[in-house]
Amino acid sequence: MTKYLCESMNNPVNEQLIDYPHLQKMLAEHFPEEVWQDWFASLPVVVDETCNPQRHGDLKGWLATLNALPAIHVDDFDLSAPRIRVGSQQGVIEQGALKEQLLALKPWRKGPFEVQGVHIDTEWRSDWKWARVAPHINLENRRVLDIGCGNGYYALRMLGAGAACVVGVDPSPRFIVQYNAIKHFLPQHPNFHLLPIGIEHLEEKMPWFDTVFSMGVFYHRRSPIDHLLELRHKLRSGGELVLETLVIDGGVNDVLVPEDRYAMMRNVWFLPSCAALELWAKRAGFKHIRIVDVSDTSLDEQRATQWMTFHSLEDFLDPEDYSKTIEGHPAPKRAVLVAEAP
């Protein structure tokens, strides 16, 4: 299992941002080796394809920022706090310089975090979404897969809620750099690995996990039923799906398919009603399906900040009627579906 050590080391993501020995150890502790060894051996090659430095011109600068972060002994962290906190009561660090380093990795979309006293005030108040999800699930000692995990905020909250291990996938190199900036200040490598790949780079049938999360991904998929089947095939029998997505009001046959953009996003394909979403999950083979939360997205939950200075929700809504997007669609409403794999 040392093949990866001599492959792909020209890729700085493989070289600096993925701790393959620790990932191998985590997989060995929680899954039978025969189910993951071939996939693990091929992973560096896949990362080479998804994170080619020639296609991501900012990667070199991000890595330089990461390498310049100060070394400090950390003795104070909390992965269960709404604002994930990593820091130290010992030693002194220049917060202004650290803030500028972390700002160089923006936009920060999911959070918030507090790193050595620096508040990373992300675009999303992801702690609000987590507060809506957490009461309806039990992650104690669960093996978790987080699809579209972003910079790892939710995955760290999952560990804070007792998960045994978390594998997160998201194809954005920026997010793995942001996560490594947070991990830099943790006293030990948590049982979470963020892999800069898409769900299509996982094996088609990979029923390893007790819980699979898909939050903020569903409406970006061209085929919603196929995505549900992809998620089901990553769960053991009786495992739990947690899916959060944009929805509309309506009955079982009501689905919005935007002609072009939705809230200025081009890659939005299907916004079902809650009833339609439940039916699709049933057709995909899930059982014990339930909608546990439906919430409008407010301008306080998603907004531009110093850490995400581009357009945000307020710019995506009709300035004269915030109940509609700028294109005239219903404003963002999000639902959380929980279901069980057969």
3-state SS, the chain, equals: CCHHHHCCCCCHHHHHHCCHHHHHHHHHHHCCHHHHHHHHHHHHHHHHHHCCCCCCCCHHHHHHHHHCCCCCCCCEEECCCCCEEEECCCCCCCHHHHHHHHHCCCCCCCCCEEECCEEECCCECHHHHHHHHHHHCCCCCCEEEEECCCCCHHHHHHHHCCCCEEEEECCCHHHHHHHHHHHCCCCCCCCEEEECCCHHHCCCCCCCEEEEEEECCHHHCCCHHHHHHHHHCCEEEEEEEEEEEEEECCCCCCEECCCCCECCECCCCCEEEHHHHHHHHHHCCCEEEEEEEEEECCCCCECCECCECCCCHHHHEECCEEEEECCCCECCEEEEEEEECC
pLDDT the model gives residue 3: 46
Give the mean pLDDT of the chain.
93
Q: How confident is the model at residue 6 (pLDDT cuts 50, 70, 90)?
A: very low
120 near 114, Cβ under 8 Å?
A: yes
Over residues 305-332, the pLDDT tens digits come to: 999 999 999 999 999 999 999 999 999 9
Sign, Cα dihedral of 115, 117, 123, 125: positive
Cα 211 from Cα 144, distance rounded (Å): 5
* Residue 132 scores a pLDDT above 60: yes
Angle (CA) 51-52-57 rounded to 5° is 100
Chain segment 201-260, per-residue pLDDT in tens: 999 999 999 999 999 999 999 999 999 999 999 999 999 999 999 999 999 999 999 999
For the whole model, what pTM was predicted?
0.95
Distances (CA, A) of 51 to 8, 130, 297: 11, 29, 32
User: What is the reported pLDDT for 5?
Assistant: 43
Q: Which CATH architecture has domain 126-340?
A: 3-Layer(aba) Sandwich (3.40)
Instruction: Determine what percent of the chain is predicted with pLDDT higher than 90.
Output: 84
pLDDT digits (tens, 9 = 90+) for 13-32: 787 899 999 999 999 999 99
**pLDDT for residue 54 is more than 80:** no
